[in-house]
Amino acid sequence: MSDQILEVRDIHTFIGQFHILEGVSVGVPAGNITVLLGRNGAGKTTTLRSIMGLTPPARGQILFDGKNIAGKHPHAIAQMGIGFVPEHRAIFRELTVHENLQIAERKHGDLARKSEFIFDLFPDLQRLIDLPGGNLSGGQQQMLAIARALVPDNHLLLIDEPSEGLAPVIIEQLMAAIKRLAETCSVLLVEQNFRVASRLAQQYVIIEEGHSPASGEMGSLIHDSDLIQRYLGVA
């Protein structure tokens, strides 16, 4: 068995009549942070949603812990141990912070067991525990979205654009938290902010127009200005 917790092999995904992913392959080594890089509309979010079963691929394989999960229902995929932190957080605005965490329990007592770790990672949430999710700031909502994915025993977290729209000081806090939680599970991250991505991830995969033309060690990408310029438009 390979040391990769997730292997996405040549997936093709359609949204309506549009062929969004035209053969994307992604490997996520166990215990690492892997980042999907690419311009807006390249297919990064669709890749995460395809893994999660929310926009299931029409063909291709998605192996999680060696088992093909392509075509399974989202709830079944989540129950196998994949946590999802979507773009724009998807916090339940009418539910309190506590209820937002409680709903993520897969076994009774998950939250009680994990609360010390979660509140150590995001101390603000303990203070806001009885507030409705809709009353939280953008940064607090992002913390809650990540915390929610930590309640059950997930082996892989899919995190979509965690730094989007947040102040630099909040981004620093989130980065520190993601680094710490990556000690307990593998992470596949979508991140537009290359500076943030390069500091967090050990591996990268570039997504470009529904394909995955390049991947490798983040350390080598940082020094490859041609690749960065060609696919990310970052000087």
Shortest spacing between CB 86 and other proteins, in angstroms: 7
Of 7, 99, 124, 172, the residue at the interface with other proteins (CB under 8 A) is 99
Span of 3-11, 28-36, 74-82, 222-230 interacting with other proteins by CB under 8 A = 74-82
* Entry field: residues in the chain: 235
The piece of 13-21, 31-39, 85-93, 185-193 that touches other proteins (CB under 8 A) is 85-93
Instruction: Return the residue matching tokens 């929310």.
Output: 54
Question: CB-hemisphere CA count at 13 Å for 176?
Answer: 8
Neighbours of 178 (CB within 10 A): 23
Q: Find out whether 4 and 178 touch, Cβ atoms under 8 Å.
A: no
Nearer to other proteins, 22 or 105 (CB): 105
How many residues at the interface with other proteins, by CB under 8 A? 21
* CB of 22 or CB of 99, closer to other proteins: 99
Pick 90 or 227: Cβ nearer other proteins? 90
Angle separating helix axes 138-150 and 110-121, nearest 10 degrees: 140
| CB 229, min distance to other proteins, A | 35
Is position 92 an interface residue for other proteins (rule: CB under 8 A)? yes
Q: Which lies closer to other proteins via its Cβ, residue 54 or residue 63?
A: 54
96-99's contacts with Cβ under 8 Å and 24+ in sequence apart are: 96/129, 96/130, 96/131, 96/132, 96/133, 97/125, 97/128, 97/129, 97/130, 97/131, 97/133, 97/136, 97/144, 98/129, 98/130
Instruction: Give dist(CA 228, CA 235) in Å, integer.
Output: 7
Nearer CB in complex with other proteins: 98/211? 98
**Interface residue list for other proteins (CB under 8 A):** 52, 54, 73-75, 78-79, 84, 86, 90, 92-95, 99, 102-104, 106, 148, 152
